[in-house]
Amino acid sequence: MNNSKQISSFEHDKYAELCAVALTGELSSDEWQLLRNHIATCDGCRQQIQSYQAIVNTFMPAAAAAEGISADRVRTHFSWWSRRRAKRKLLQAAGVGVPRFAFGGLYRSWVGLGFVSAALVIVAAIFVTHSPNRFRRSSPSAREIGIQAPAPKAPAIQAEAVTQAPAPEMPEVQKLRERVDQQTKKIEELIVANRSLQAGLVAEKQDHESESAMLRQASATDRAELSNELADAKARLASSKTDLERAVNDNVALQAELRDAHLQVVSLTAKGETDNKTIVQQQDLLSSERDIRELVGARDLLIADVTDADGNNGKKQAFGRIFYTKGKSLVFYAFDLDQQRGGRKNASFQAWGIRGNGSGTPVNLGVLYQDNETKKRWVLKFDNSTELASLHGIYVTAEPQGGSHSPTGRQLLYASLLREPNHP
């Protein structure tokens, strides 16, 4: 008789939790008796506990062997999951809101069992979570289900207590077993693939470690070579710095020698210029002495002072002297021309002749040159006898540097040539 419809959904979910706990043998005697009475009349719970027992007997040993862990550990985790699932249904049936991730410890607990065990339980759970209504046809009685429980807690439902012969499996159970076999085969293939993948990962890890070792060795070699090259470069740099310091010191010494040589050249040049001036002066003196001897020995020689009025009551002061050989030559000596009033800075002192025929155009006799800087003496020599014969007098003006074609400055000195010769 099936009375699954005669009890509430909440009560039915409570019996479903007892079915899950029955696999672990943790039910009390009263709970065992209550469960046995219920599954005697409820096809759904009887089929559910039968499915749980099939999972424990078939899948758990395979999962434990695949992961290398004990079957008790797998069974404990599965029972824990079943109980959590039943509690969730109880809360929902009682109208208590259950968050989506309530009892989330399931994932963390099953992680410890590994990929294969979790896959086995998930595959089995797919089939056992179907509504018990699917198994209401021709379900075996409670006596046909062997449920083993631990002796200290409650008496187990022994297979010997079953008096009837086991009924043939239902088509749904047969299909379940076939699908379980298929999933088991797929899981075994996944186990093989996983082991192959792990072997490949181990090989890749070994290759990586080998390459890393080679790279470390190469890096050490490169560092040693770079260190040697750096040491060589430092040695070359130190040698170059030494050579540079030596070159700098040599250059400093050479510069000092060049300065000394330059000073000697300057000194010798100055001495040479002084000697040249002395020679020129001596030559000028010799020439002057010769000219003077000629002048002194000449006939019709006029020696006269060159004067200038200083504006002080018409008093005249001598500033030069002329040696005039009538119709032959004229030698003009002048003193302190740069001190004359009306003079120009850096001026040239130029002599001009006054014609006796009344012509207003003066004769350019030339620029006086300074033959004695110490005595500030200037000299002019003029030997054009034709021009001299027509002159009645001479005067000096300050002109721009280099002289002029006609007088532009004030007359500084004047001398008359109309006097009679006074030597001899």
Q: State what percent of residues in the chain have pLDDT above 70.
A: 60
The fold of the 298-416 domain, in CATH, is Immunoglobulin-like (2.60.40)
Ranges of CATH 2.60.40 domains, the chain? 298-416
List beta partners, residue 370.
Answer: 378
Q: Are 371 and 289 in contact (CB under 8 A)?
A: no
Element (H, E) at 329: strand 329-335
- Mean pLDDT across the stretch 158-162? 36
* Band (366; pLDDT cuts 50, 70, 90): very high
Question: SS3 for 49?
Answer: helix
Residue 166 has pLDDT above 60, yes or no: no
Tell me what pLDDT residue 410 has.
82
Report, as an integer, the average pLDDT of 336-354.
78
Token pair belonging to 258:
């060049």
Residues 6+ apart with CB under 8 A from 317: 307, 308, 310
Structure tokens at 228: 């040697």
Model pLDDT for residues 105-136, shown as the tens digit of each residue: 443 443 344 444 444 444 445 444 443 443 33
Angle at 73 between CA 178 and CA 110, to 5 degrees: 75
pTM greater than 0.75 = no
Q: What average pLDDT does the chain have?
A: 72
pLDDT at 24 over 70: no
Structure tokens at 161: 């207590």
User: Is the pLDDT at 172 greater than 80, yes or no?
Assistant: no
CA-to-CA distance for 326 and 285, rounded, in angstroms?
A: 23
Is residue 337 within 8 Å of 372, Cβ to Cβ? no
CB-CB contact of 2 with 133 (8 Å):
no
> What is the rounded distance in angstroms from the CA atom of residue 58 to the CA atom of residue 51?
10
* Residues belonging to the chain: 424
Give pLDDT, residue 52: 74
Q: Cβ neighbours of residue 268 under 8 Å, at least 6 residues apart?
A: none
Task: Count CB atoms within 10 A of the CB of residue 370.
Answer: 14
pLDDT of 59 over the 50 cut: yes
Give the Cα separation of 370 and 89 in Å (integer): 140
Q: What is the pLDDT of residues 236-286, one digit of tens each?
A: 999 999 999 999 998 999 899 889 999 989 988 988 888 787 676 556 655
Look at 40 and 152; give whichever has higher pLDDT. 40
| Residue-wise pLDDT tens digits, 209-227 | 988 888 888 888 888 888 8
DSSP character string of 172-192: HHHHHHHHHHHHHHHHHHHHH
State the average pLDDT over residues 5-14.
64
Q: Are 114 and 147 in contact (CB under 8 A)?
A: no
Q: What is the pLDDT of residues 288-329, one digit of tens each?
A: 666 666 666 666 788 888 876 454 545 455 578 888 888 788
Angle at 385 between CA 383 and CA 390, to 5 degrees: 125
> For residues 392 and 276, what is the distance between their CA atoms, to the nearest angstrom?
39
pLDDT of 365 > 90? The answer is: yes
Mean pLDDT computed over 376-395: 88
Q: Is 394 in contact with 332 (CB distance < 8 Å)? A: yes
Q: pLDDT band at 367, cuts 50/70/90?
A: very high
